[in-house]
Structure 1
Amino acid sequence: MLEGRICFVGAGAMAEAILCGMLNHKIVKPGQISVTNRDDRFRLDELVYNFGVVGDSSQKYRSIQEADILILAMKPKDISTALEEIRAYTSQEQLVISVIAGISTKQISEFLGHQAPVIRTMPNTSAIVGLSGTGVCAGEFAKAEHIQVAREIFEAIGLVIVTDEEKLDAITGLSGSGPAYVYYLVEAMLEGGKAVGLSEQEAKDLILQTVIGAANMLIETNESPAYLREKVTSPNGTTQAGLDVLKQYQFQEAVKQCVVRATERSKELGAQSSVTLKKQ
């Protein structure tokens, strides 16, 4: 169990996924967690009702001030306004963990105006079922013990890779956004299944088992995806016919460029926040 108080600044989908994962894996108790946001009282009430965490909007600044760990989970476009509002209630004795796409540890330290240890992370929403893939890196003032706390939090909700900060934008583009790419693929396969006569439930059940099976084959065999694909593909067979269509539509290149563009967007969000900071 982690000790101390944890305050989420931002109460969106990612905050919910992380706190749900932590509670499901019993590394904290609900009373240790408080959630805050700008002004959505209904959202806070929802999280309090569903998880038993603390979400009293009238105690927002007190919750932030008394926290041992602050988890920044607002949208990148809101970070300047949000941290300007709360920084007087923060201190360099707190551990600050960011799950904000594109925002560097240096930028966060500049926003806060002090030398609190900052850990930048990029999980994904599979945290809610304990299967996130999370990149973690340390800012200038963070030490090994701060990385260890972050590892404990995010290992409770999935795989953790401790890496250099320069790779966090790429992790955002690949893994942070990755579940959406998989869901999009499943959507397309579902439409394909219905187009050839399967019911939606039949298609869904088969697709999900297929995705789970393929992922586990990659894990258990440790073979390359290319090798496993070739093993499934008989010359002039059904799989080859399907793959030919994917090649015709440049499926592989589209997915590659999807990751590249999402990575670029993460960098753009950081640059936009830098401009906002300089204007203040």
Structure 2
Amino acid sequence: MLKYRNISFIGAGSMAEAMISGLINNAGILPERITAANHSNVERRSELINKYDIQAVSFNDFSLNNTDVIILAVKPKQAEEVLQQLKPNLQDHHIILSVLAGISTPFIEEIIGKSLPVIRVMPNTSSMIGESITGISAGKYVKNEDLDLAQELSKAIGKVKIISEKQMDVFTGIAGSGPAYFYYLLEHMEDVAVENGLDREMARDIAAQTLYGASKMVMQSDDSPAELRKKVTSPNGTTAAGLDALDENGGGKAIEAAVENAAERSKTLRKEFEKVPVL
């Protein structure tokens, strides 16, 4: 079971913190079972220790001896260097989860040179509150029990979808980067509300609740988003006027371009940092 495993994060950035928060607050993982390691940011390590009561150490002082699950959460450009440093100390019982955008499981498998289970995991920062949607794809040496553990870990921070490695780029474009799109939308709704006389706190609450309610409608209804949109759009009404403005200003195309750009960037990262083809 996950709660009896020792989990080590290699990297201590925002994604690592979101997952740490979710594991402690939503999965009941004891803080002493979690370690975070980074290279040089002592202040960041102190912050995580004080906030979550976990262990946080310099990567140079980090040991794999008491680790069961290794979660790679560094920047993609650091992937090869970190893996080369971990490689001599990897043991047969280790399971490697990677949240590195654009870095495939075959690339990790080739560098470590061992038949260890490698699972690519793509959560988003909503894992901080247990509301992530996480995509996972299994590497060559992953057994059913390894995939079960990855799912258990991912369910602790939200919902889970098992996808193929090839689907991970578009998943990244939608789910990995998606929260920022919605924050951007809310930012502009909030600004225009303030310009028209609402105070900022009220404007934020109204916009966020509207988005939350619409999301719940999609998740609880048998209707598609397009059908739901049509149902709330009266001819010549206020909603129709707003949607016309979105169309005239390229709203739909902008959303599609955002997802496609993020997905393409994920592919580009893989080409920049690895040479192993995705099967």
What TM-score, normalized by structure 2, do the two folds share? 0.95
What is aligned with 1:192? Answer: 192
1:154, distance to aligned residue in structure 2 (A): 0.6
CA distance in 2, matches of 1:11, 1:60: 15
Q: Check conservation: 1:61, 1:89, Cα contact below 8 A.
A: no
CA distance in 1, matches of 2:209, 2:166: 36
What SS does the aligned partner of 2:236 have? coil
CA distance in 2, matches of 1:26, 1:246: 41
What is aligned with 1:30? Answer: 31
Deviations 1:198-249, CA, capped at 9 Å, x for gaps: 1112211111111111111111223111111112111111111111110011
What is aligned with 1:144? Answer: 144
Q: Structure 1 residue 8 and structure 2 residue 9: aligned?
A: yes
Q: Structure 1 residue 109 and structure 2 residue 109: aligned?
A: yes
Identity of paired residues, percent?
Answer: 40
* 1:230 counterpart letter in structure 2: K
What is aligned with 1:86? Answer: 86
CA distance in 2, matches of 1:174, 1:72: 21
* 1:247 counterpart letter in structure 2: D
Q: Check conservation: 2:39, 2:60, Cα contact below 8 A.
A: no
Q: Check conservation: 1:117, 1:142, Cα contact below 8 A.
A: yes
**Higher alpha-carbon deviation: 229-238 or 11-20:** 229-238
What is aligned with 1:45? Answer: 46
What SS does the aligned partner of 1:28 have? coil
Deviations 1:226-274, CA, capped at 9 Å, x for gaps: 1111121111111111111100111101101110111111011111111
Q: Check conservation: 2:37, 2:59, Cα contact below 8 A.
A: no
* 1:37 counterpart letter in structure 2: N
Deviations 1:92-143, CA, capped at 9 Å, x for gaps: 3200000111110010112222221101010000000000000011100111
* 1:87 counterpart letter in structure 2: K
* 2:21 counterpart letter in structure 1: C
**Higher alpha-carbon deviation: 43-52 or 109-118:** 109-118
Deviations 1:66-89, CA, capped at 9 Å, x for gaps: 311100000111112222222222
1:176, distance to aligned residue in structure 2 (A): 0.5
Q: Which runs of 5+ in 2 are unaligned?
A: none
1:26, distance to aligned residue in structure 2 (A): 3.2
- Across the aligned residues of Structure 1 and Structure 2, the Cα RMSD in angstroms comes to 1.5
How many residues of Structure 1 are paired with residues of Structure 2 in the alignment? 275
CA distance in 2, matches of 1:20, 1:124: 13
Q: Check conservation: 2:39, 2:59, Cα contact below 8 A.
A: no
Q: Check conservation: 1:105, 1:119, Cα contact below 8 A.
A: yes
What is aligned with 2:158? Answer: 158
1:45, distance to aligned residue in structure 2 (A): 1.1
Q: Structure 1 residue 207 and structure 2 residue 207: aligned?
A: yes
CA distance in 2, matches of 1:133, 1:60: 33
* 2:142 counterpart letter in structure 1: A
CA distance in 1, matches of 2:171, 2:61: 32
CA distance in 1, matches of 2:17, 2:127: 9
Describe how 1:54-93 pairs up with structure 2 within 5 A: 54-57=55-58, 60-62=61-63, 64-93=64-93
